[in-house]
A and B are shown apart, each in its own frame.
Chain A
Amino acid sequence: MNIIKNRKIYYTISLGIIIIGLIMWIINGLNYGIDFTGGTSIQIKIGQVISVDEAREIVDNYDKEASILHIGTNKDEIMIRSKKDFTSQEINEIVDKFQEKYNIKDKEFQSEKFGPFMGKEIRRKALLSSLIAVVAMLIYISWRFELKFAIAAIIALMHDVLITFSIYAIFKIPVNSAFIAAILTILGYSINDTIVIFDRIREEMKLNPRTNAEDIVNISIKKSLTRTINTSLTTLVAVVLLYIIGVEDVKILALPLIFGIISGTYSSLFIASPLWYEMKN
């Protein structure tokens, strides 16, 4: 396995995904969730499967543009999302109408409402905290390793974030505040993965000071490969199960994590170390 020799192929694959993502992003924009755009979401347990048209009869009185989705394991719950800011009274009316029409005994619903400025603020805070985290990690890695490692690790991180964003842009998956929590976790996970390989490179350099950088990187990756695969697999098992079994709110958190972990593993192996090699020469 010669990762350094084939590094251009790996860069191309990543750049390809990111460029497609960016183009889709520019053309379509990101599909922001209501916690970013402002709006209302109502989730009602109906207890039977009803058609979207039936639900529309009630919802159209409030917002004709609202999206209606079936959720829950038995598809007996519906989720109404509107970009409009419903008053508490309107939410109550909608829920009451469903309750009446379908004879629902227990008033079982969930609603969320976000003012238009909330999303902006969440985005700003998330960006700010990621920047602070990145700077702090940069300092730590430079101190423990050297600046070149730190820069390579941070570029690999940005790669993972960009890949995750691209996949969201390409498949038009809604971006909301859970997505931000996930992106932040990906930061943590991916850096963890990269550092383990860098640690190996650092060690191999000490043990074989005369070996050239290309061989050092290849040997280090090869030696830590089993670990990289095993760790990624166990973490993926946990996250994929969360996605399959979890409720709607957990799914939207688990999905970006799945992409992030795959991308994080890929970037540790095929992006971070070659980048370090690039800078070393």
Chain B
Amino acid sequence: MNMKKTLLFILIIAIVSFAGYTAINGIEIKGKKITKIQDSIDLGLDLAGGVYVVLEAQTDLQGEELQKAMEQSKMIINQRVDGLGVSEPNIAIEGNKRIRIELAGVEEPQEAIEMIGKTAQLQFIDSKGNEVISGKNIKSSETVFYRTDFGEKPVVSLEFDKEGALAFKEATERAMKEPNDVDKIIYIVLDDEIISAPIVRNVISDGKAMIEGEFELEEANRLATLIRAGALPVDMVELQTSVIGPTLGLEALERSIKAGGIATLIIFLFMLIYYRIPGLVADIGLAIYILIVLYAMKFLGVKLTLPGIAGLILSIGMAVDANVLIFERIKEELRNGKSIRASIDHGFKRALTSVLDSNITTLIAGIVLYYFGIGPIKGFGVTLILGIIASMITSVFITKHLLKLTVDMTNTKNTKLYGA
């Protein structure tokens, strides 16, 4: 036994175990806190819960004009989402005429979806059917409480710009001249739907108006936000929406972690029993591999999604492959009567080409998936790429040195310990 090498080996195991413990449970030393990895990796919507909508513009616009309309739509949707009070929304233009909106933790998901995709073309229309003012002329809109005989109720108060104020004044003047109440109505229309039909009682010249209706406070707030943000320059249709409840997402995460944990445990035991000392070394390597992948995800800001977890667990299975390849080669060399040390050197060398060639071909597939894939396919690609790179690093460098360390440590001639 070589004491120095043995100590080094034990130290390595201790460090890896400590890092593993920290990753699983988190740790706190003298006020400095390292949160557990599960909490520090961003979760995708399918795990965290939330709303996800893909909208497509219905337009024949092309090139720069289309781009401008899309940018404008994105800005307007941004404002609408702000009105919902969602933290860290993710709104992105995808391709030419699509907008992808991801909102985590929305309380009323269906209402949010409806509000986001609305064109929200606001019009004031007089009794003869002429448009008096449109949404463009509105300077501000907010929810206020209006006192009535039956108590306070929420209404949306509007303020027009100069042009709008003038137009509204003229329209109310015209309405006042009508003899019948029916002809004194100015309809307030949102996307071809009448939301309020007030009868004009006097000329309004201060550029202010109010939308009354049987609103709940929330509805009034939503309407105010819609009007404030303005109309989308193009109509949008929902191509795809998903709503994921927060506990369903959590369940998915917990069960995937459980599956991953059990799978890892079985693989660890299998390697240990089948390959003995190299198996132990491979297990240490695998633990390091898992840590590298998880922390790489954290630092690269890769969001963990369900397909991502599946890719990750699959890559653990595949990471074993490089080790298996190398160990089988070492066993062959041992059977040919070489010493343990020589067998390890030769085994690694001869397995290297197949480890490299097989992993690089898979890597090519991963990169293509990442570049050309959409949605879930992309997430899968990312974890596959990370997994392959981490697996090559651990199996080719870390496992090799650890294995040699065990030989120096024990100076054993017993090839059985190395799986022969």
Contacts and interface: CB of A to CB of B under 8 A. Distances in A.
B368 A118 contact: no
Interface of B: 46, 54, 56, 110-111, 113-114, 237-245, 247-248, 251-252, 255-256, 258-260, 262-263, 266-267, 270, 274, 306-307, 309-311, 313-314, 316-318, 320-321, 324-325, 328, 332, 350, 353-354, 357-362, 364-366, 368-369, 371-377, 380, 384
Contact of B377 (A184, A224, A241): A184
A113 B307 contact: no
Interface residues of A, number: 73
B158 to A, nearest CB: 26
Contact of B238 (A113, A237, A242, A245): A113
Q: Chain A interface mostly helix, strand, loop or mixed?
A: helix
A107 interface: yes
Interface string A117-139: 11000100110110011001100
A128 B239 CA distance: 21
Contacts of B371: 129
A238 B243 contact: no
A20 interface: no
Interface string A84-126: 0000110110010000000000111111111101100010011
Contacts of B320: 230-231, 234-235
Contacts of A43: 248
B377 A180 contact: yes
B362 A129 contact: no
A126 B373 CA distance: 7
Contacts of B262: 241, 245
Nearest to A225: B328
A185 B317 contact: no
7 contacts: A106-B247, A110-B245, A110-B248, A192-B362, A203-B350, A227-B325, A247-B256
Q: Which 5 A-B residue pairings sit nearest by Cβ, starting from the closest?
A: A235-B317, A199-B354, A129-B372, A188-B365, A245-B259
A173 interface: no
Contacts of B366: 188
A246 B262 CA distance: 12
A112 B242 contact: yes
Interface stretch (A22-30, A51-59, A61-69, A248-256): A248-256
B370 to A, nearest CB: 9
A244 interface: yes
Contacts of B317: 231, 234-239
A92 B380 CA distance: 31
Nearest to A177: B376
B239 A245 contact: no
A112 B362 contact: no
A269 to B, nearest CB: 15
